[in-house]
Amino acid sequence: MTPHINAQSGDFAKTVLMPGDPLRAKYIAENFLENARLVTDVRNMFGYTGEYQGKRISVMGSGMGVPSISIYAKELITDFGVENIIRIGSCGAVSEKIKLMDVVMAMGASTDSAVNRTRFPQTDFAMIADFGLLRRAADAAEKLGASYHVGNLYSSDLFYSPDESRYDFMEKYGMLGVEMEAAGLYGVATEFGARALAMMTVTDHLRLGQHLTAEERQQTLNDMIKLTLEAVKDLD
């Protein structure tokens, strides 16, 4: 057990999918995994382990923001033997080339968070996805015919930022979307030697003022879960 995860040794699979919302973790466990059982519930941050096509897989909420995902990802890796963490979340888009419901795969994650400067002093360490996970996800997206983009993402500490000019900056430098966790997850994975990937569906277009409906959110979530499970089902 750790301060934030009340599971036993061996309760987690080597691969953990991490949605932000713990109720999404519950939804995934109940609708996509077989023989799923709850393995942790501290602070209602639910984690489950089950099987997908015979492959042992866990799913656990990360909460919102870099500090929250950093706590859970670190403890999963150092105390529960987790080797692969795939964030499955939502993001806002700033470029008209990116449409609502598209999937964004964060090959890299830029951020205004200071965590990685604290972690790697005097170095702007590149926050990058694990290439093997990224390749699997891109292959699964091709196979399933998903509309997807691979590139740089912006992980913001503020959901409600007072600075709207930052969207110009993000668009100018080719950010595919803005969310709040990927750069933290990649920093933890780098520090503790695990593999990580962050994959988001575009739920909001921040330039065009468009937002998915509740039904569209559910559909994109289901599509991304299928894509992710397809990507990791043969992972060692």
Ligand X SMILES: O=P(O)(O)O[C@H]1O[C@H](CO)[C@@H](O)[C@H]1O
Ligand Y SMILES: O=c1cc[nH]c(=O)[nH]1
- Residues making contact with ligand X (CB under 6 A): 19-21, 64, 89-90, 159, 179-181
179 is in an annotated binding site: yes
Cβ nearer to ligand X, comparing 200 with 232: 200
Q: Please indicate whether residue 157 is annotated as part of the active site.
A: no
| Cα–Cα nearest to 186, from 176, 199, 174, 175 | 199
d(CA 137, CA 131): 10
Q: Among all residues, whose Cβ is closest to ligand X?
A: 20
- Subset of 146-205 contacting ligand Y (CB under 6 A): 159, 178-180, 203-204
Does 155 show up as a binding residue in the annotation?
no
CB 106 within 8 A of CB 129: yes
Residue 151 among known ligand-binding residues: no
Spot the catalytic one: 204, 223, 234, 236: 204
CB of 101 to ligand X, least distance (A): 14
Question: Among all residues, whose Cβ is closest to ligand Y?
Answer: 92
Q: Would you say 131 or 159 has its CB closer to ligand X?
A: 159
Work out whether 98 is an interface residue with ligand Y (CB under 6 A).
no
Nearer to ligand Y, 117 or 217 (CB): 217
User: According to the annotation, is 174 in a ligand binding site?
Assistant: no
Least distance from C-beta 179 to ligand Y, angstroms? Answer: 4
Task: Check: CB of residue 12 under 8 Å from CB of residue 37.
Answer: no
178 binds, among ligand Y, ligand X, none (CB under 5 to 8 A by kind): ligand Y
Binding residues for a purine D-ribonucleoside, by number, are 4, 179-181, 203-204
Query: Under the rule (CB under 6 A), what is the footprint of ligand Y?
Result: 90-92, 159, 178-180, 203-204, 206
